[in-house]
Structure 1
Amino acid sequence: MACPHLSYRESDADHDFDTERAYCTVVGRFVQPMRADVCNERYGLSPAADCEFYRDHHGLAWDESGAEAPGGGDDSKRSGTENSGAEES
């Protein structure tokens, strides 16, 4: 079953779009097409198992299903140190 928190919108408060865009009601913003793939259960993905927004909203801990937390889908939360280019000796 596709994520109940995903909708497609043809506009926002300021713009009309040529095509519908994926909107996540949990985070209250438009999401990237790759995230919508998770929402729509494409490629064997599932919101309950693979989406941190869905899991957090429903109070699901990552260790309950044996799944690891994803590397982070929201670039605004990254510290920038994960791939700083520095190598350990």
Structure 2
Amino acid sequence: MAEKCPHLEYREEGEDRSFDVARAFCTVTDSFVQPMRADICNARYGLDPATDCEFYVEPDGSGEDDGGSGGDAGEEPEDDR
């Protein structure tokens, strides 16, 4: 089972809003994610961010990214509102 996604952060503010409780934020899509998507990011329920997330990109540290290993990188995730 994979570890937590390295692209997941929890933020208490963003997009000109602030929250009482920190919300899941994906640094790949630069957007807040819904709780069900955060389950993938946190590798819950046997899910693996590297294989189950269409936005996941391998953190290789080179600074060069070919758009990821799966899915359409141009696809917009739903807002967590």
Name the TM-score, length of structure 1 as normaliser: 0.63
Q: Residue 62 of structure 2 corresponds to which residue in structure 1? A: none
- Number of matched pairs: 64
Q: Residue 69 of structure 2 corresponds to which residue in structure 1? A: 60
Q: 3-state DSSP class of the match of 1:52?
A: coil
* CA 1:37–1:47: 2 relative to 1, 3 Å: same
Larger Rg: 1
How much is the aligned-residue C-alpha RMSD, in angstroms? 2.2
* Percentage of identical aligned residues: 58
User: Which one has the bigger helix percentage?
Assistant: 1
**In structure 1, how many angstroms separate the alpha carbons of the residues matched to 2:10 and 2:54?**
20
* CA 1:5–1:27: 2 relative to 1, 3 Å: same
Q: Which of residues 33, 42, 45 is equivalent to 1:43?
A: 45
Cα pair 2:55 2:70 within 8 Å, conserved: no
Name the TM-score, length of structure 2 as normaliser: 0.68
Structure 1 unmatched ranges of 5 or more: 63-71, 76-89
AA aligned to 2:48 is: S
Q: Residue 7 of structure 1 corresponds to which residue in structure 2? A: 9
**In structure 2, how many angstroms separate the alpha carbons of the residues matched to 1:34 and 1:18?**
19
AA aligned to 1:39 is: C
Q: Residue 28 of structure 2 corresponds to which residue in structure 1? A: 26
